[in-house]
Amino acid sequence: MTEPSLTHVELIASLSDDERQILVEKSDRAGLLRIGSHVFMLGITGSWIIFGWPLWQIAMIVHGILLSFLFSAEHESIHGTAFKTYWLNVWTARLSGLVLLLPPQWFRYFHFAHHRHTNDQERDPELASPRPSTLGQYIWHVSGIPYWFSQMTVLLRNASGTAKDSFVPGRGKARVQKEAFIYLLIYAFILILSFVFDNWIALYLWVIPALLGQPFLRLALLAEHLFCPHETNMLKNSRTTFTTNAVRWITWNMAFHAEHHSYPAVPFYKLPAFHKYTKDHTLVQQDGYANFHTDAISRFVIKAI
């Protein structure tokens, strides 16, 4: 791609009022269809595991991928763009976050700071833990293990009131602490019930699948900003990845990531339409996630030689 001729701010300013109004229109129908189909697929894979149907081990991996990509639902919901109705966004974020050890109050502050300071080494909280720069770091990151350790640490610190995250404002600290404490109580309650009734369905329908599915989410999220320029123009510092309908479905169209960062008010189902405006101005575009990761691994290998 050639250098973008416009910044994201200039691009949005160039849109007419009618164009902007159409792009930011929210829809309960679109959100309910997306989350409903996601939950329906979880029901199928969950039943497959429970009843031990043939190839249930494969179903457990698919189930884990579906669980992990509830992140997409939570992410869209904390932006308030998954649904038009406020409480649908709130409860989708809460329930998705419960699965992922990712309370939405804290995640909203974290993520909005990431939007304000994308790829800013000093202020982007996503860069507090550096992105992979070697093959070993890449493999460790993609394993998902650092994510689970990080989220358990965040939960415990927030619940105890000892967290010192600069992106959480003073007025939000009590809410963040309360939410983390409630999440820990729920996890403890599930664990106690599992022991009391000697029933480990949560292990087979949640914990193990979530561990198996997390690497697939890590692979998708890495493509959003890795190797993109560290500058303020969202049409340069974020990547648009062209992919299949299935991947666009499970990621809630976050493959259009330069578009999302350029205009976060655009709901997931309108991002393909917004891409028509951005396609000639986006610096980093990739044909498929497989190609992105092939290129990333090649870079790490060449660097190590």
Taking all residues of the chain, what is their mean pLDDT, rounded to a whole number?
Answer: 96
Confidence of residue 304 (pLDDT cuts 50, 70, 90): confident
Give the span between the Cα atoms of 53 and 161, in whole angstroms: 45
Three-state secondary structure call for residue 285: strand
For residue 100, the Cα-to-chain-centroid distance in whole angstroms is: 10
Give the span between the Cα atoms of 50 and 46, in whole angstroms: 6
pLDDT at 1: 55
pLDDT digits (tens, 9 = 90+) for 224-241: 999 999 999 999 999 999
pLDDT digits (tens, 9 = 90+) for 271-285: 999 999 999 999 999
Give which of 109, 125, 128 is closest to 117, Cα–Cα.
125
CA-based diameter of the chain, in Å?
63
Tokens representing 118 are 């994308």
Which region holds residue 253: left if phi is over 0, alpha if psi is between -120 and 50, else beta? left
Tokens representing 266 are 């655009």
Confidence of residue 183 (pLDDT cuts 50, 70, 90): very high
pLDDT at 218: 98
DSSP string of 119-147? T-TTT-GGGSSPPP-SHHHHHHHHTSHHH
Domain ranges of the chain: 8-304
Q: Is residue 289 predicted with pLDDT exceeding 60?
A: yes
pLDDT digits (tens, 9 = 90+) for 80-137: 999 999 999 999 999 999 999 999 999 999 999 999 999 999 999 999 988 999 999 9
